[in-house]
Amino acid sequence: MSDTDTDELEGMSDEEKAVMNEWETMADTVVEPDEAVPDFDGDEGEGDGDTRILNQDEIDSLLGFDDDASVGSETSGVMALINSAMVNYERLPMLDIVFDRLVRLMSTSLRNLTTDNVEVSLDQVSTVRFGDYMNSIPLPAMLSVFKADEWDNNGLLVTDSALIYSIVDVLLGGRKGTPAIRVEGRPYTTIESKLVEKMVEVTLSDLSSAFDPLSPVSFNLDRVETNPRFATITQSGNACVLARLRVDMGERGGRVEILIPYATLEPIRELLLQMFMGEKFGRDSIWESHLTQELYKTDVQLQAILGETTIPLGEMLNWKVGSHLAFLTRMDEELELRCGDFPMFYGPVGQKQDRIAVRIEAYISPEKEDD
């Protein structure tokens, strides 16, 4: 330290000297980014202070790119935050009922089409992004693009190679009990495409019938593609509902996957939010009709207002037995009938069988409260 620095320190106050010492202490404990603090216990990356540098494994785990994680484990880190924006299909519980109806309908329709013992089962209903699903389709496969006319949007039906050859083998008279023979390395022929289109049309008809109790809709086949790039029906990041169906015909069979974007289901979203068929979000027509009938049987008291006047309290306190109170109501005026504090009817006053009576001639509409 030079003489100049010594003179400056002598001119500082005690508070300034304390701040200076604190800054010097912090500067001595700074760790360079490229250097790790040595630890004599053998743990690299931990120092005497609170400063700690993450190693590569911890960084990979934080970002969700841990190679040691199992395939079925849950995604963590940044990838979990990205995938958390996905919409869960369980928010549309009525879809389970729709696909259960589809399984029953397809079992009957495919038996009639193939004259064989066909069993259709629902493997899974999940939510996927459109782009991720298109990249995961095992090729070769047939991608059938269908259109929902009433909803003015599209969906996708994917038939895998195993089911394609099984349908062709069954429809062309293949022997029962023998697996279908696959011919790899060539595109599908026109006959094979037409036979699969017939099965797709039957499936789409059953899908329309499955949605009928909720909302009438017609699913019509638009085109059949073998390249996923030509079967794009929505943006790659959009969420879609994916239903995986298994079709078994003895020892033959395959999978059918139905992909419906959430944008396609948006017109009937309120109906799909129901927990059971016919739900009206808290309304019960049976209870409403019963309550209405009981209300009609309720006894109410009506008061005929012969006259009204306003007088000071001091004058009322001076009343004595025999005091007279004058009303301005005339005999030919209509009286007001009230139920509690609510005016209900108007009518003239008269007499019937030695009793004073009021004939109802007009109904008083309730006044609307100002918002």
pLDDT digits (tens, 9 = 90+) for 85-119: 555 555 777 888 888 899 999 888 888 888 888 88
Between 15 and 66, the higher pLDDT residue: 15
Q: How far apart are CA 150 and CA 267, in angstroms?
A: 9
Summarize the confidence of residues 273-278 as an average pLDDT.
66
Q: What percent of the chain has pLDDT over 90?
A: 5
Q: How far is CA 229 from CA 5, 81, 120, 285, 335, in A?
A: 74, 28, 29, 50, 81
Summarize the confidence of residues 143-168 as an average pLDDT.
88
pLDDT at 236 exceeding the cut of 60: yes
Summarize the confidence of residues 352-368 as an average pLDDT.
80
Structure tokens at 40: 């004599």
What is the pLDDT, as a whole number, of residue 281?
Answer: 46
What's this model's pTM, rounded to 2 decimal places?
Answer: 0.54
Summarize the confidence of residues 174-183 as an average pLDDT.
62
Between 22 and 210, the higher pLDDT residue: 210
Summarize the confidence of residues 335-355 as an average pLDDT.
83
Summarize the confidence of residues 317-333 as an average pLDDT.
81
CA atoms in the 13 A half-sphere facing the CB of 178: 8
Q: How far apart are CA 149 and CA 144, in angstroms?
A: 16
Summarize the confidence of residues 308-321 as an average pLDDT.
85
pLDDT digits (tens, 9 = 90+) for 34-75: 444 444 444 444 445 556 787 877 777 766 665 554 444 455
What is the pLDDT, as a whole number, of residue 45?
Answer: 45
- Across the beta sheet with 141-148, the strand order is 119-129, 239-249, 252-261, 153-160, 141-148, 219-225
Summarize the confidence of residues 287-312 as an average pLDDT.
85
Is residue 271 within 8 Å of 94, Cβ to Cβ?
A: yes
What is the pLDDT, as a whole number, of residue 31?
Answer: 47
Summarize the confidence of residues 4-29 as an average pLDDT.
64
Q: How far apart are CA 261 and CA 226, in angstroms?
A: 20
Q: Tell me, letter by letter, the H, E, C secondary structure of the chain.
A: CCHHHHHHHHHCCHHHHHHHHHHHHHHHCCCCCCCCCCCCCCCCCECCCCCECCCHHHHHHHHCCCCCCCCCCCCCCHHHHHHCCCCCHHHCCHHHHHHHHHHHHHHHHHHHHHCCCCEEEEEEEEEEEHHHHHHHCCCCEEEEEEEECCCCEEEEEEEEHHHHHHHHHHHCCCCCCCCCCCCCCCCCCHHHHHHHHHHHHHHHHHHHHHHCCCCCCCEEEEEEECCHHHHCCCCCCCEEEEEEEEEEECCEEEEEEEEEEHHHHHHHHHHHCCCCCCCCCCCCHHHHHHHHHHHHCCCCCCEEECCCCCCCHHHHHCCCCCCCCCCCCCCCCEEEEEECCEEEEEEEEEEECCEEEECCCEECCCCCCCC
Between 61 and 248, the higher pLDDT residue: 248
Is residue 144 within 8 Å of 260, Cβ to Cβ?
A: no
| 139 strand-pairing partners | none
Summarize the confidence of residues 192-201 as an average pLDDT.
89
What is the pLDDT, as a whole number, of residue 177?
Answer: 59
- Map out the domains of the chain with their CATH numbers: 17-83 (no CATH), 89-272 (3.40.1550.10), 299-363 (2.30.330.10)
Question: Average pLDDT of the chain?
Answer: 77
43 Cα distance to chain centroid = 48
Q: What does the chain come to in residues?
A: 371
